[in-house]
Structure 1
Amino acid sequence: MAALLLELPPPPFLNCNHHQFLSTSKTSLRLHNFPSKTPPPPPPTFTPTTTSCFLSTVTSSSISKEEKEKEPHSTAVASTKAPEEGSQQDRRKVVQIAWEKLVRWSRSWRSKNNKTDLLERTNKVVVLGGGSFGTAMAAHVAYRKSSLEVQMLLRDPLLCQSINENHCNCKYFPEHKLPDNVIATTDAKAALLDADFCLHAVPVQFSSSFLEGIAEYVDPGLPFISLSKGLELNTLRMMSQIIPQALGNPYQPFVLLSGPSFALELMNKLPTAMVVASKDKKLAHAAQQLLASSHLRISTSRDVTGVEIAGALKNVLAIAAGIVEGMNLGNNSMAALVAQGCSEIRWLATKMGAKPSTITGLSGTGDIMLTCFVNLSRNRTVGVRLGSGEKLDDILSSMNQVAEGVSTAGAVIALAQKYNVKMPVLTAVARIIDNELTPKKAVLELMNLPQVEEV
């Protein structure tokens, strides 16, 4: 839009000099030009009805106070105002045309690519895990098609009973009713039988053991859409590695869903945008068709590594942002810390083969902003309480959800050492979590790092 505006001609203006002067009548306003070789005419004399530009020979002293008061708005001012209004109308027209082109393109694209075949062919989706995000996505998919069977595979029989009897996950969303086609079960075999898609929402640190326990019931061709973010603490594995290895099938279809998305806002059907990443382009588009709706935009990507690393490391950075908030270090400090953290994530991700553009996209910058700056973030909450002086054990024991950044922090540093990447902020978080450094001392040490060129 800015580029379009810059291409517009500048508004016309009137230039009064010794080669030009304005003469007026009751019906017209004319601009007289005199060749530079012709002597200029004598300056016009000022009368109450004169509406010419004031030349340098007409001084304020030659105009009486009464005459000044009578002419607060000269015709010269009016003559410049009209072109400005015309120019503004031109600019508005350019903006209107640009917007209309965008709308036409959108309608044309939708008419050509509005594929509902996949959703029509999908009869059953299973969701592994009954946490807040797993519940929100189960409800979202169930609302997409009333005849779709959505089964949530849980370990807690009481929660399972509550969902089936009350149509509500009272642990996480006591005020939200789930669609009638969402069913909870503890029977892995029944849940996975004839499933068309599987949404994996089990926390990373428990995923391997959980999947190994149900592997015998998983069809080798069942696409897994992972909602989990983080790194396995001891092995440094990501979900794209954990799922196929735990299931004993290196060719298990895999898609990763990530981006700035709080479960509560998904439950409230607020506008959200996320990205699905898969090395299989067709599989990514299939997941897009399954999940995209009027309030959930789904982009596709083939950069699985970039999306996974950004999703895992942003949780650690959110703890750091929370510590800054808890210590009341101010907005300048917060902005500097998050900017530094974004750079550290980019350094490691690109060393691992990710695209820099992924780190500035939805799964990178988008998710980082949401997790670092909004109070609904679990990892940010942990950081705020650490910065306020609370002990980590007390914080974790009082939470009913998993803050992945706590367990991921140590794995991130091990991964950084493997790829020879320096990560001062995220390393400081890991040391604070390990109780080897206080938040106050960490800040002092970070501020005393060498002043270097920004990269």
Structure 2
Amino acid sequence: MFLNVVVLGGGSFGTAMAAHIASRKAQMEVHMLVRDPIVCRSINDDHCNHKYFPDHKLPKNVVATTDAQTALLKADYCLHAVPVQFSSAFLEGIASYVDPALPFISLSKGLELNTLRMMSQIIPQALRNPRQPFIALSGPSFALELMNKLPTAMVVATKDKKLANAAQQLLASSYLRINTSSDVTGVEIAGALKNVLAIAAGIVDGMHLGNNSMAALVAQGCSEIRWLATKMGAKPTTITGLSGTGDIMLTCFVNLSRNRTVGVRLGLGEKLEDILGSMNQVAEGVSTAGAVIALAQKYNVKMPVLTAVARIIDNELTPKKAVYELMNLPQVEEV
């Protein structure tokens, strides 16, 4: 069966997913909608995204365009890989070309800063279609390892069982396992907040606080994510699954993580604006941290580790002071 898939965004993860889907079937046409004409040319002329994967060839059936109408024409599935903070404005700009029945598979992880919206809310609202089919894709998955076809497992979350099975069929391969879930909130909240926790883990590393404190911090962070997610209606088992603990471990403990890198550099004493100015990719945890304090207040959940990250990013707290405050919290019974 011939399928047309469109990938919105030309970043590392969008590129990796485009390559993955295209390599599975020759009768699959994958259109990447990119902003940068140079990236567009390099994909079409050299079958390579020079900006993110200069050493990897893309399948011939990956085609790039900067024109939304061309990309979305006859699309059967849409993979949304635009960073969360830019998603709403971007989608509003292309809404007139989107078929109301086109399933959106969201690869973007985070919360919109001022509205606290998740992608499952942003996409249908920006497209002015509350019934737009929506799937969240999440789990421990570095783009580089996907490009190298290393064994990976992820989860697709949607309320529609038929849609979950269709997404599973589209994405699963010999090196990518796809589990299904109906807990969209749990998958999205875990995917958003693990980026904030990764910044905290990086700070611990940058300050050379040792393995004991790293393990304690990440365990506490996992609890905080579980407390909030369950208050928001998520299942606790989701938080211990691939999109929760799985993604948290990868992002907190592995050097390839952008958010962890931001934390390491903060822990070493660098200024946030200098760190962000030197990066060519978005660290979603920086924006999402700002939403954590509002969410903690809204759902009346104590989140000392994740709110400390937000305060460090807002320059209210130094990493050293944050450690002192956390170590001096009241000794409590574990929950």
Normalised TM-score (structure 2): 1.00
- Between the aligned partners of 2:5 and 2:293, the Cα distance in structure 1 is 36
2:238 maps to 358
Q: Among residues 129, 132, 142, which one is paired with 2:12 in the alignment?
A: 132
Among 374, 377, 384, the alignment partner of 2:264 is 384
- 4+ residue runs over 2 A deviation: none
Alignment of 1:220-259 (within 5 A): 220-259=100-139
Q: Hey, what's the Cα distance between the residues in 2 that align with 1:389 and 1:187?
A: 43
Deviation at 1:403, TM superposition (A): 0.1
Q: CA deviation at 1:415?
A: 1.0
Q: CA deviation at 1:131?
A: 0.3
Can you list the C-alpha shifts for 1:252-302, whole angstroms capped at 9, x where unaligned? 000000000000000000000000000011101100000000000000000
Partner of residue 338, structure 1: 218
Q: Secondary structure at the match of 2:7?
A: strand
SS in 2 for 1:225: strand
Query: Is it true that 1:424 corresponds to 2:325 in the alignment?
Result: no
- Shift of residue 161 of structure 1? 0.8
CA-based RMSD of the aligned residues comes to: 0.5
Mapping for residues 6-405 of structure 1, pairs under 5 Å: 120=1, 122-405=2-285
Q: How far 1:315 moved relative to its partner?
A: 0.1
State the TM-score, normalizing by the size of structure 1: 0.73
Spell out, residue by residue over 1:14-40, the C-alpha distance to the aligned partner (whole angstroms, 9 max, x if none).
Answer: xxxxxxxxxxxxxxxxxxxxxxxxxxx
How far residue 423 of structure 1 moved from its aligned partner, in angstroms, is 0.2
**Highest RCO, 1 vs 2 (Cα 8 Å, sep ≥ 6):** 2
**Uncovered stretches (5+) of structure 2, i.e. residues with no partner:** none
Cα distance between partner residues in 2 of 1:190 and 1:163: 16
What SS is found at the alignment partner of 1:183?
A: strand
For 2:137, what is the secondary structure of its paired residue? strand
- Per-residue CA deviations over 1:408-454 (Å, capped at 9, x if unaligned) read 00112111110000100001000000011000010000000000000
SS in structure 2 opposite 1:427?
A: helix
Shift of 1:157: 1.0
What is the Cα deviation at residue 155 of structure 1? 1.1
Report the alpha carbon displacement of residue 393 of structure 1 after superposing the two structures with TM: 0.2
How far the C-alpha of 1:147 sits from its partner, in A, is 1.8
Amino acid corresponding to residue 21 of structure 2 in structure 1: V
Q: How far apart, in 1, do the equivalents of 2:11 and 2:39 lie?
A: 10
State how far apart, in whole Å, the 2-side matches of 1:304 and 1:398 are. Answer: 34
1:346-392 deviations in Å (ceiling 9; x for gaps): 00000000000000000000000000000000000000000000000
For residues 267 and 315 of structure 1, the distance between their equivalents in structure 2, rounded to whole angstroms, comes to 22
